[in-house]
Amino acid sequence: MANLKTNVNSNILISDTMNLDRKRGSYMDKQVYTDYFFDEPAFNTHDGGYVALETPTTQQTPLAIPALAVPDSETVHEVSYTITAQESSAQLLPGKRTKTWGYNADILGRTIILQDGQDVHITLKNQLPELTTFHWHGLNVSGPIIDGGCHAPVYPGKSSKIDFTLHQQAATTWLHPHPCPSTAEQVWHGLAAAVIVKDKHEASLHLPRNYGVDDIPVVLQDRRFHEDNQLNYRADYDPDGVQGPTALINGTVNPYFDVTSQRLRLRLLDGANRREWRLHFSNDLPFTQIAGDGGLLPDAVDLTHLMITCAERAEIIVDFSQYHAGDEVVLYSDDTPLIHFRIHDFKADPEPLPTHLLDIQAPTVDPATPIRKVVMSGMDESVMLDGKKFDMQRIDAEQPMGQAQYWDITNTNDMTGGMVHPFHIHGTQFLVISRNGHAPYPNEHGYKDTVGVNPGETVRILVRFDLPGIYMYHCHIIEHEDGGMMAQIESYDTSKPQPTYKLMDMETLSKAFAAERGIPVSELWMAGMDSYAKMGMKM
Ligand SMILES: [Cu+2]
């Protein structure tokens, strides 16, 4: 791991708050990073207009905490869930309820808990009016069916079953739909749920884990509300990613949370279609990042600012020991308040947080293995991956199962006018090795499945698939993936004959969507279709 833990950069400051805390001895000799690390000229860049968040004018309401999904059955070794994608409505704003979709919930979804080592059985039920898929973003499961990408549709009124054994360290992962090219619209309707993986190692550490009290998921999204408080995806459609001016946190507009513990663990998830979040608290209160997408960081990192790109997760611990009942601490993105933390009496917890969290042994790479090059290019409709648009029937690359390979992910947008493209791989967790040859950011030394790539940058990652299958990899600005900035790789077992996979095709999906909407295929509109049509390319 030593080669991954290279030198930290120069963005180190000890804030005044930290000096105060230092006197109390609780932050002795810690570095606190005070910037977002990403390239500032790329912030908010967006062909066709960036939509800034607006400060909400509605009354503060309690932050919704997604209920825990109730297993159909559970033992130490085995768990069964039924996950139902359903139509519903939610009271998001005063007045009319907003029509929404959710997983076992009105909007978003119940939080699913899985244990490392468990045999997992999930019944996927679709009670939506159209086909969907159930994609397990960040889970080490095999593609293309269990993983729930575009090849695994569940049709309306139908259900299917998946079974897998989970071998994965504790992490905050998530579930969202992935039916190409309508992923973005289905997420916009409300489909997204936290999936928390637990393991014995994480359970042995002194960290908050009382769900809903001192350990909460925080799903960061944004929406635009139209007449009668309704969503209108097509009206808001933008090939560079749909945005809205209203922050929606766990499906709550203008939330507050009652803090009743000294430390609070926030499992942050950027569940937005396009928006990156630049997070900081009132008075630059420092916080501690303990985990990224794939679980614990090797060492806790203290920050005052944190940027997460689409689909990324960060688990942070906020310590309110310097505050008193009646105080309020606000979480912001840029200048927009997101959550008001109302401080109540709490019991002091004198035991410090662990600083070393996890030993990570990077897999070794055979020097003879070529470095895989992946290029994300374009903006708007022109987005491509390796100069091509996604084709469900085309397998773009192969990698032997169990073999670690370096992948160089390049974003060819230029530095002044390009976007940060969040690059995601299905079915595995990778390590970030370098950014343009320099050390990764200090808070990305743990396993990840999504990494923001700055314009003009090449990010080297170390990738290994532990299961055979077909895995999608793509930009996670969801309109970019729908628009074709996506490809797929086959991981194969070298000791066995390569299997033939039955892959979904656009014609089958288009016919199904059209039939479900009661329209001819010629009238079918789905988000990504314009991106192919405008480039004169066949979907
Ligand atoms: Cu992108």
pLDDT in tens, 188-223: 999 999 999 999 999 999 999 999 999 999 999 999
- Centroid of ligand 1 to alpha carbon of 317 (angstroms): 30
Task: Please tell me whether the overall predicted TM-score, pTM, comes out greater than 0.85 for this model.
Answer: yes
Q: Is the pLDDT of residue 15 over 50?
A: no
- Centroid of ligand 1 to alpha carbon of 212 (angstroms): 33
The Cα 506–Cα 492 span in angstroms is 25
Tell me the three state secondary structure of residue 265.
strand
- Centroid of ligand 1 to alpha carbon of 229 (angstroms): 29
* Backbone CA torsion sign across 504, 124, 447, 362: negative
Question: For tokens 């010629």, what's the residue?
Answer: 522
> Could you tell me the CA-to-CA distances from 38 to 173, 277, 311, 419, 457 in Å, in that order?
23, 12, 16, 11, 11
- Centroid of ligand 1 to alpha carbon of 102 (angstroms): 25
Q: Is the pLDDT of residue 337 over 90?
A: yes
In the structure, what pLDDT confidence band is assigned to residue 13 with cuts at 50, 70 and 90?
very low
Residue 213 backbone class (left: φ over 0; alpha: ψ -120 to 50; beta: rest): alpha
- Centroid of ligand 1 to alpha carbon of 527 (angstroms): 14
Query: What tens digit of pLDDT does each residue of 44-76 get?
Result: 888 878 999 999 999 999 999 999 999 999 999
Question: For tokens 């001192």, what's the residue?
Answer: 214
Query: What tens digit of pLDDT does each residue of 487-535 get?
Result: 999 999 999 998 999 999 999 999 999 999 999 999 999 988 988 988 8
Chain mean position to CA 261: 27
- Centroid of ligand 1 to alpha carbon of 355 (angstroms): 34
- Centroid of ligand 1 to alpha carbon of 118 (angstroms): 35
Which tokens belong to 191? 């489909």
- Centroid of ligand 1 to alpha carbon of 360 (angstroms): 29
Nearest to 289 by CA among 169, 175, 446, 114: 446
* DSSP code for 388: B
- Centroid of ligand 1 to alpha carbon of 378 (angstroms): 8
Instruction: Specify the pLDDT at position 48.
Output: 75
Q: Is the pLDDT of residue 324 over 90?
A: yes
The Cα 135–Cα 150 span in angstroms is 9
The Cα 504–Cα 230 span in angstroms is 32
Q: Is the pLDDT of residue 140 over 60?
A: yes
- Centroid of ligand 1 to alpha carbon of 481 (angstroms): 7
- Centroid of ligand 1 to alpha carbon of 114 (angstroms): 30
- Centroid of ligand 1 to alpha carbon of 385 (angstroms): 9
Average the pLDDT over 470-479 and give the result: 98
Instruction: Specify the pLDDT at position 154.
Output: 98
Instruction: Specify the pLDDT at position 414.
Output: 86
Question: For tokens 């916009």, what's the residue?
Answer: 188
Instruction: Specify the pLDDT at position 29.
Output: 62
In terms of Cβ atoms closer than 10 Å to its own Cβ (0-12, 13-18, 19+), residue 204 is exposed
Q: Are strands 336-343 and 372-377 parallel, antiparallel or unpaired?
A: unpaired
- Centroid of ligand 1 to alpha carbon of 392 (angstroms): 18
Helix (H) / strand (E) element for 221: namely strand 215-223
First to last CA, the chain: 43
- Centroid of ligand 1 to alpha carbon of 477 (angstroms): 5
The Cα 282–Cα 53 span in angstroms is 18
Instruction: Specify the pLDDT at position 458.
Output: 98
- Centroid of ligand 1 to alpha carbon of 415 (angstroms): 14
Neighbour count for residue 138 (Cβ, 10 Å): 29
> Could you tell me the CA-to-CA distances from 308 to 200, 245, 449, 465 in Å, in that order?
27, 18, 13, 25
- Centroid of ligand 1 to alpha carbon of 136 (angstroms): 20
- Centroid of ligand 1 to alpha carbon of 418 (angstroms): 10
Helix ranges, 361-505 (H): 478-482
- Centroid of ligand 1 to alpha carbon of 192 (angstroms): 20
Contact 263/349 with Cβ under 8 angstroms? yes
Average the pLDDT over 176-182 and give the result: 95
